[in-house]
Structure 1
Amino acid sequence: MSVRQKMQPSYNLTPIALAVCLGLAASAPALAADEPAAKSDEPSLEVIEVTARRTAENLQSVPVAVTSLSAEQMSQRGVEDLADVQWYSPNTTLQVSRGTNSTLTAYIRGIGQQDPLWGFEPGVGIYIDDVYVARPQGAVMDILDVQRIEVLRGPQGTLYGRNTIGGAVKYVTKKLHGDPELHLKGTVGSYNQRDFTVSGQMPLSDTFWAGIAYGTFNRDGFGKFKNTGADNYDKDIQAGRVSFAWYPSDNLSVNFMADRTWDDSHAKGGYRLTPSLVTGQQPYGSVYDSDTSMPTKNSVETGGEALTITYNINNDWTFKSITAHRDGDTDTNIDFDSTAQPSLDIPALYDDRQFTQEFQLNFDNGGWKAVGGVYYLDGQACGVFETVLGLQGVTVENGGCVDTKSYAAYAQGSFPLTKDLSMTLGGRYTRDKKDADVYRYVYLGIRYPHDPATPPFAVQSDFADSATFSRFSPRVGLEYQLTQDLMVYGSYTNGFKSGGFDMRANKSVNPDADKPYSPEIVDTYEVGAKAEWFNHRLRTNIAAFYSNYDDMQITVQRAVNNNTDVASQVLNAGKSEIKGMELEATLAATDALQFTANLGYVDPKFKRVDYFDPNAGQVVDVSDLWSFANTPKWTGSLLAQYNLEAFGGDMVVSGGVNYRDKTQIFETPSMLDAGSVTLWNASVAWYKGNWEVQLTGRNLGDKEYRLAGYNFAAPRDAQGNVTGPGLGGEDTIVGYYGDPRTVSLSVGYRF
């Protein structure tokens, strides 16, 4: 089958000041419970349950750097979707990708992947419950009937498998419990925000339960496409989920879940940082305003089904089977140059499918704990996009598919060496086989992916190839329980991300573009301490880490041939190292007042980067010119929460500040690089009986901050003056930004 048949075509808080605040408050983001803390004469913190090691455990006993946010915490902090979680997990970047509304860019401790093109795989694994989500499209999930979200930092390959060398993010849905329940919630807010969610469950028999959740999330744009009047940065998303639980016996459970998300928000327009060389358009006064020469149509539909069967063999052994299917379709238009002329336009289609099967065996006799299993993935990612150079009368079409079959076997166990000292040993063997079809055609005139097939004017690439990548990834750790409330640990973990093929390969410029790129490998050493103090009133979790990072995969695109063509590479950057630390803490100052906070520091450096310069025609080492993308050196947050009785009910008043240091958008410096950002949020929630009312303010200082962008700059002299046209005849330096100040009011009722 051909590819075309498959596709069917304000304030500023410095790191030092933040660190002082954190020290004075003796806090950092850990977690609270799913329900408001009950008042008592002696304040103490709630026990937090996580599943970082594929089984339910107390957060304080898990020798992994992990943040867990409950549904209530996320509501009170104004967390609307998965991207907002980045503010509450140190050294974590979870952002909406450039030019999209729901595609996720994820980095943890400097490791990730910002290129969402099919064939490229993330470095941070995203999971819905225990199901791996292979593609980033649609992964910026809204918070809908969620029990908690966990962020696991550092390589998690032993238990979570492929492409988790930076870490893993787990979206844990609310479990069915068998009691009738119905929850309605409506929200109105700035920019005509109109959200509505309904969730509930009910028993159909003593052993069979059913649940449903649905949400519609709508908002007008923060800005406009000036030349068409359409909304820019609007929101038009629906999401739904149905679930069933069957308990035919005390030892057997069967759970089924199906979810779907539809994103029909407008394609997002960027903000030009420089005047247009074609139209003379100056940068607009608002970063949310843009122009476009394309339809603003955008459609993303993603979803899947999962069947989980759990059988308790006896008191010590549990067997689990997880069978899942997921798929996604994207039809979008991105105007790179953001003008009314088709200088550099990119319409695109994405189509992906995946099937996964995991068999897992757990053992726990109170002293020894172990989990092992086998895993299989069969996935296909296809796509086609056009690089429309309208003023030059040329369209370059890239298309292709990657079929992946992945097999893995894993095991990890913890066992006591002495009364207080235990050891963890684990490993995973992974074998990936990839079959790729890649083409790159040149057409005269303007062309879109849905246009019928015609003979191209020129062929720059057209090849099919296969490659197999395999790796054994071990983990070794020691945990020592110094006291009942203080555990220290040290670990070594090896991470592995599979290699692949460059789906933008241009062999006419780089003859070796059809060769597969290699896997990337990271060796991480981590030490940490998890403690509770003062009769469980203060919790402090600290981790320090060092990583050796080899063959880091970096996608690079450069204008060549006097800015008339684009050369793409996937570099296996030779060597780099990453070191850093993280602090998370929670303080119950009184029975009513609680502080939480986090502080992250990361220092990544390239040691060697072998880059093929298409203009010079040779390989050069550019490590002294490059820095890690999407990796601020300092991150942190500080939050205070106060509980009181008011107006005949219970009130929770929350306020906090979030900080991210300056960030380099790409590996090379550019005008797009973002300065530091400090955001202030606050909320007041009131509960009485079945009613809940919450007023939330986000980014109260109305801080303007850039998240991403496109950089196809025109050539410049030493003084920064433009000396000629760039790709498509334009100077394309376009940014995308975080949300402005918003205020919302939510009202909910539980039946």
Structure 2
Amino acid sequence: MHPISFRSTLLLGAGIAALVSNPAAAQETATAPPEPQSVDAESDSTGDIIVTARRRQESAQDIPLAVSVLGAQQLDETGAFNVNRLQQLAPTLQFYSSNPRNTAVNIRGLGVPFGLTSDGFEQGVGIYVDDVYYSRVASATFDFLDVAQIEVLRGPQGTLYGKNTTAGAINIQTNQPTFDFEGRAELSIGNYNFQQARLAVSGPLSDTVAARVAFSGTSRNGTIRNVVTGENIQSLDNIGLRTQILWEPTDRLKIKLVGDYNKQDAVCCGSVFVGTGATQRPLNRQFAALAAAQNYAPPSTNPFDRLTDLDSNLNAGNVIAGAALKITWDVGPGTLTSVSAWRYWDWKPENDRDFTGLSIVARSQNPSQQDQYTQELRYTYSGDRIDFVLGAFGFNQRIDTQGLESQGVNASRWNITPSNPLSADPSVLDGLTARNTQVLKSTSAALFGQLSWKVTDAFTIQPGARLNYDKKSGFYQRRVFTKAGTELLGTETDAVSRARLAIYQPQLSAPSDTDWNLTYDLTASYELAPDVLAYGTYAKSFKTIGINQNGLPTDAAGVPIAAAGTIRPEKVDHFELGLKSQFWDRRVTLNLAAYRTEIRDYQATVNNGQFGVLRGYLANAGKVRSQGIEADFAIRPSARFTAYANAAYTDARYVRFTDAPCPPELSGGTTASAGQTPSAPGTPGGISPANCDISGQRLPGVSKWAVSFGAEGNVPATFLGQSGEVYLGYDGTYRSNFSSNPSPSAYTFVDGYALSNFRLGFRTDGGLNLFGWVRNAFDENYFEQLFVGPGNTGLIAGLPGDPRTWGVTAALTF
């Protein structure tokens, strides 16, 4: 048995048992699954899609808010079992991940800085699971567990949600405990040894107590072959457990206790050689010359051979767990809700930061542990003319990180100027180690509220406000040791020590800051006709202060720049116009949104190529803006056919960023002094600007065009003695090119790509669903990300997207 699939195989057995144990009896008590539609979310008796985006149950078409709603059936049948897969259905969503910690989830190109993650800043896109805020974006890499529906809210949501979110929110609703026995089992197998099993069971424990238990396990071999270790990397090995106990002592009071545990244990994460680009380093210090000096060549120059030769250990051990207590109490005319939660995160990574088979950076790991506590109190009232939400939110977080990075036997020849005799001595840098200790304490508190006043039957105004307090304090210490264990203090003057200190400098910093913010929004909506709603929104929002937790940049003398320790809050102005409409007896839905978001003091990730700050650091860009148009279309002429098309045009740019880090083609040379003219891009041994003006250029990670589209048709059929329907479905997605470097570079634009997914299956009203599927059906070669290698050598590495995958799924709802 393949070692990575052991846990999932246990769950596969449970899934098989559930599928084969007396299916006829199960079907007698089963409830029919939702009829297939372009968005198969929870709906009421009129067929409206019901959402809780505004903290109360409403039709998605009645709320003046841009929101995409994805139901459990659509998520299951399209294979969208995590946020990465979700972006193929929601074109305004961007997801990039080089490993679970270094994950970015953005909406409309905004949310978090693109690049390696720092703990010192906030997420701009909030992830909520049953009202609990998940501050670690690593949670987005886990499998969805027993999900009922997902709402992707676009634009600032600070007056409705506990933790402030400037770009949007992903609101995940799970299936709840029931007082009638029910359950669902699902089993999938596919190529690359893909195995996935899910099982959920719910029912009463007494007249007032119900419970629900859900399991999920996913495993898959990696898609990249490491020729050094013989392993297939970029594998999947996820397991999840979620337990809920609901107590309803009266009709007006509900108390729910939730616990969850999720673990990843994949052979991950790596990259492949993509190519090189000329920098302004001397020619003998660029990749080709450095590699030739050590007789090195990558295993393939074609990245889609999916071969790598990473020589360091790879690990992405990741545990996210927690518990929550939710109390819902109908008090008079409204509802009081309390959500108390604890979240835990344990991250145990090992990486190869030089992206090659040479032992340059021999070890790179930053294990972290987080404890997070949140408390939200919320009162919701719905009346004939007035609806409102009032809330208070408290957040406390501590993150401890123990970083280690060491140089290998090939480091001296790679990092020291060839004319220096020390470059020929491997012992100069071999074993040189930086040990980093980091602590982050973050506390925030907020009061927020939103009022909806129905001035007339057609016209509604909706003001909201938020008062927010934040305090952040950090500690960072880097200590540097030789292979023999001698500590370097940074004051040594001999040649060998200077060569070592050019790689790692000791550093100590303890940045801290506090901030108050008052923000607000106003939405006006008007019902132009039955099922046609127009709305306009202005929001004044913010993202709170940040601090640099991964080491500070240094000046020309090698002294840390203390002023870079803290980062000013972002100031957000958001404008949006929208139209929501349904016609042809609600068989057709067409929603449009146009927006413009301007952010001053944008918090950007930058990297100046120094080995001591390989992870990058945060800095404020002057101003950015994102503007665009979005359209969501769905048609259901009959129960036998549905189709949808969602499109987003996003124009996201730096408006003003005059002191940005330069792209690789303008880096690595002698820094220009006053009056000197920098050399042309890619001039070996040239003169490089100290920094670059990238005003007007595109933000990273954002495609101008993103489209998702699909259709499904079905016909009545009988199979295995069961009456039901045979269905054929198609889902496609297209994204145009995007920049994969914070400062746009000619070497790191990812080409646009299109993906096609098909499914063919049979389902019954009794809850049985059998289907085969193929994803990336035409085996499109594409990159999820490109990476610039350290040290301005011109190395470009990349992460290829998944190749063609196929398999079968059997599911039973009972």
TM-score where L is the length of structure 1: 0.88
Say which SS state the counterpart of residue 60 (structure 1) adopts: helix
Residue 527 (structure 2) pairs with residue 481 (structure 1): yes
2:406 maps to 1:405: no
**1:591 positional shift:** 3.0
Deviates more, 1:393-402 or 1:529-538: 393-402
- For residue 388 of structure 1, report the CA deviation from its aligned partner: 2.9
Shift of 1:30: 6.2
Give CA-to-partner distance per residue, 1:686-741, whole Å, 9 cap, x none. Answer: 123343212111110111211123313665xxxxxxxxxx3xxxx54211122111
Q: Which residue of 2 aligns with 1:666?
A: 741
1:633-644 to structure 2, matched below 5 A, reads 633-644=704-715
User: Does 2:383 match 1:365?
Assistant: yes
CA shift for structure 1 position 155:
1.0
2:334 is aligned to: 317
SS in 1 for 2:608: strand
Do 1:577 and 1:606's aligned partners in 2 also have CA atoms closer than 8 Å? yes
Inter-partner Cα distance in structure 2 for 1:149 and 1:182: 20
Q: 1:214 to 1:456 in 2, by over 3 A?
A: farther
Determine if contact 2:178/2:212 at 8 Å carries over to the other structure.
no
What residue in structure 1 maps to residue 218 of structure 2? 217
Once the 2 structures are TM-superposed, how far is the Cα of residue 432 of structure 1 from its aligned partner? 0.4
| 1:106 maps to amino acid | V
Matches within 5 A, 1:90-489: 90-95=91-96, 97-98=97-98, 100=99, 104-113=103-112, 114=114, 115-274=116-275, 277=291, 278=294, 279-285=296-302, 286=304, 288-314=306-332, 316-344=333-361, 345-390=363-408, 391-392=411-412, 393=429, 394-445=432-483, 455-458=487-490, 460-489=506-535
> Which structure 2 residues correspond to residues 466-545 of structure 1 after superposition, within 5 A?
466-506=512-552, 507=554, 508-512=558-562, 514-545=564-595
What's the counterpart of residue 645 of structure 1? 716
For 1:447-468, what per-residue CA distance to the aligned partner results, in whole angstroms no more than 9, with x for missing partners? xxxxxx9845545321223210
Greater fraction of residues in strand:
1
Distance 1:714 1:434 in 2: 31
Deviates more, 1:241-250 or 1:644-653: 644-653
Q: Secondary structure of the residue that 1:139 maps to in structure 2?
A: helix
Paired with 2:795 and 2:256, the residues of 1 have a C-alpha distance of: 50
C-alpha contact 1:352 1:382 (8 A) present in aligned 2: yes
The answer to which of 69-78 and 401-410 deviates more is 69-78
Q: What residue number does 2:777 align with?
A: 700
1:687 paired residue number? 763
Give how far 1:282 is off: 4.8
Mark the structure with the bigger radius of gyration: 2
2:511 alignment partner AA: D
Residue type at the aligned position of 2:252 = N
1:349-396 deviation per Cα after TM superposition (whole angstroms, max 9, x unaligned): 121110000111111113210001110001012223334332132333
Counterpart Cα distance in 1 of 2:389 and 2:486: 54
CA deviation string 1:257-284 (max 9, x = no partner): 1111110001222011137625222535
Q: Is the 8 A contact 1:529 1:541 kept in 2?
A: yes
Instruction: Tell me the equivalent position of 2:11.
Output: none
Residues 629 and 663 of structure 1 are in contact (CA less than 8 Å); yes or no, is this contact kept in structure 2?
yes
2:421 is aligned to none
Rounded Cα–Cα distance in structure 2 between residues aligned with 1:173 and 1:418: 35
- Asked if the contact 1:477/1:492 (under 8 Å) is kept, the reply is yes
The alpha-carbon deviation at position 595 of structure 1 amounts to 0.8
Give unpaired runs (5+ residues) of structure 2.
1-36, 277-286, 413-428, 491-504, 663-670, 674-688
SS at match of 2:802: coil
Q: Is the 8 A contact 1:501 1:516 kept in 2?
A: yes
Q: Which residue of 1 aligns with 2:801?
A: 738
Match of 1:744, as an amino acid? G
- d(CA) in 2 for partners of 1:171, 1:288: 34
Matched residue SS, 1:87? coil
User: 1:573 offset after TM fit, Å?
Assistant: 0.5
Q: Secondary structure at the match of 1:137?
A: helix
Residue identity opposite 2:519 in structure 1 = S
- Counterpart in the other structure of 2:40: 32
Alpha-carbon distance in structure 2 between the residues aligned to 1:468 and 1:241: 36
Q: More helix by proportion, 1 or 2?
A: 2
2: CA distance, partners of 1:283 / 1:550: 44
What is residue 678 of structure 1 aligned with on the other side?
Answer: 754
Task: Confirm or deny: 8 A CA contact 1:629 1:666 kept in the other structure.
Answer: yes
Higher deviation after alignment, 401-410 or 329-338: 329-338
CA distance in 1, matches of 2:633, 2:615: 47
Report the TM-score, using the length of structure 2 for normalisation: 0.81
Give the match for residue 654 of structure 2. Answer: 606
Q: Is the contact between residue 680 and residue 700 of structure 1 (CA under 8 Å) also seen in structure 2?
A: yes
The one-letter amino acid paired with 2:734 is Y
Letter of the structure 2 residue corresponding to residue 559 of structure 1: G
- Change in Cα spacing, 1:609 to 1:161, as seen in structure 2 (3 Å) is farther
1:485-520 Cα shifts (integer Å, max 9, x gaps): 111000101221111211122343542355311111
2-structure distance, mates of 1:370, 1:333: 48
Deviation string 1:53-93 (CA, Å, 9 cap, x unpaired) is 11111000111100010000112222121211112223210
- Shift in alpha-carbon separation, 1:176–1:564, aligned structure 2, 3 A: closer
How many angstroms apart in 1 are the aligned matches of 2:791 and 2:512?
A: 37
- Give, in whole Å, the separation in 1 of the partners of 2:130 and 2:762: 30
Q: Tell me: CA distance 1:454–1:331, structure 2 relative to 1, closer, same or farther (3 Å).
A: farther
Q: 2:604 is matched with which residue: 554, 561, 580? A: 554
- Judged with a 3 Å threshold, the aligned counterparts in structure 2 of structure 1 residues 569 and 145 are, in CA distance, closer, same or farther, namely closer
CA contact (8 A) 1:398 1:503 kept: no
Q: Which moved more, 1:734-743 or 1:459-468?
A: 459-468
Contact 1:162 1:497 in 2 (8 A): no
Change (3 A) 1:564 1:354: closer
Gaps of 5+ in 1: 1-28, 39-44, 447-452, 716-725
Residues 621-630 or 211-220, more deviating: 621-630
- 8 A Cα contact 1:76 1:685, kept in partner: no
Which amino acid letter does the alignment assign opposite residue 328 of structure 1?
W
RMSD: 2.4
Q: What letter corresponds to residue 348 of structure 1 in structure 2? A: N
Residues 129 and 606 of structure 1: CA distance in aligned 2, closer, same or farther (over 3 Å): same
Hey, what does 2:632 align to over in structure 1?
584
**Contact 2:354–2:790 under 8 Å retained in 1:** no
Q: What does the per-residue CA deviation read over 1:301-337, in whole Å, with 9 as the maximum and x for residues that have no partner? A: 00111111000012x2110100000010111111123
> What's the offset of the Cα at 1:103?
5.6
Letter of the 1:694 partner, please give it. F
* CA distance in 2: counterparts of 1:575 and 1:357, whole angstroms: 33
> 1:502-544: CA deviations, max 9, x gaps?
1122343542355311111211100101110111111111100
SS in 2 for 1:532: strand
8 Å contact from structure 1 (residues 599, 636) kept in 2: yes
**Distance in 1 separating the partners of 2:486 and 2:530:** 72
Identity %: 27
| Deviation (angstroms), 1:577 | 2.1
Q: 2:541, 2:316 → 1: CA distance?
A: 36
SS in 2 for 1:385: strand
* Contact 1:102/1:139, CA 8 A, preserved across alignment: no
Which residue identity is paired with 2:514? T
Contact 1:101 1:267 in 2 (8 A): no
